[in-house]
Amino acid sequence: MVMTMIEAVLFAAAKPIKLAELEKHLGLSREVVREALDALASRLNTSGSGIHLIEHDGAVQLVTNADLGEAVAKFLRVEASGPLTRPSLETLTIIAYRGPITKPEIEMIRGVNCSLIIRNLLIRGYILEEMDKVKLQPVYTLAHEFLQALGIHKLRELPEYEAFQGNEKITELLSRQKEEPPAV
């Protein structure tokens, strides 16, 4: 049970997670986490698995089997060069008009999980991710390359930028999200 819980968390995170964070947030001892990670690595780190568990610098992450890198790269090139989906456009619009913005804030506005969409926008180079020292989590902004692709010089040139950037209903929604504890 612990191994599958850690596997699910690592899959959902899609980024390296410090062992101490797993211990703290899952309420597990270092020994239990270590045992579960060793079992997970034994199960995944084989030539017959498309997913491997890597550990580096006190953090763990689920990654693609390196032997399959060419196939994955080919798929990602096709995925990154295709047209944007409606959910991607919505997320990109939120980042454009409300950025810098956190993933939970984007999800509060959209009402759905945006992990894969954000990952795809990062891969395409349309958005940037930076750690916010105040919010203590990544925030997302538009990349310069995307502004260039739109043919604009600054965000204020977006249609009705001021109206959406300062929209009171969205500001109220986001401030409520900060006040309410996360649902468990």
CATH number, residue 24? 1.10.10.10
Whether residues 10 and 44 fall in one domain: yes
Handedness of CA 160, 162, 168, 173 (dihedral sign): positive
| Residue 147 in domain | yes
Q: How far apart are CA 94 and CA 74, in angstroms?
A: 29
| Residue 37 in domain | yes
| Residue 105 in domain | yes
Low-confidence winner among 23-32, 90-99, 130-139, 169-178 (lowest mean pLDDT): 169-178
Confidence (pLDDT) at 40: 94
Q: Are 61 and 10 in contact (CB under 8 A)?
A: yes
Q: Tens digits of per-residue pLDDT, 123-148? A: 888 899 998 888 788 999 988 878 87
- Count of domains observed in the chain: 2
Q: Tens digits of per-residue pLDDT, 85-109? A: 899 999 998 998 888 999 999 998 8
pTM of structure: 0.53
Whether residues 12 and 60 fall in one domain: yes
Q: Are 143 and 96 in contact (CB under 8 A)?
A: no
Q: Tens digits of per-residue pLDDT, 35-89? A: 999 999 999 999 899 999 988 888 898 888 888 878 877 776 665 567 788 999 9
| Residue 154 in domain | yes
Give the end of a domain, one of 68, 95, 110: 68
Whether residues 87 and 120 fall in one domain: yes
What is the domain range of residue 62? 2-68
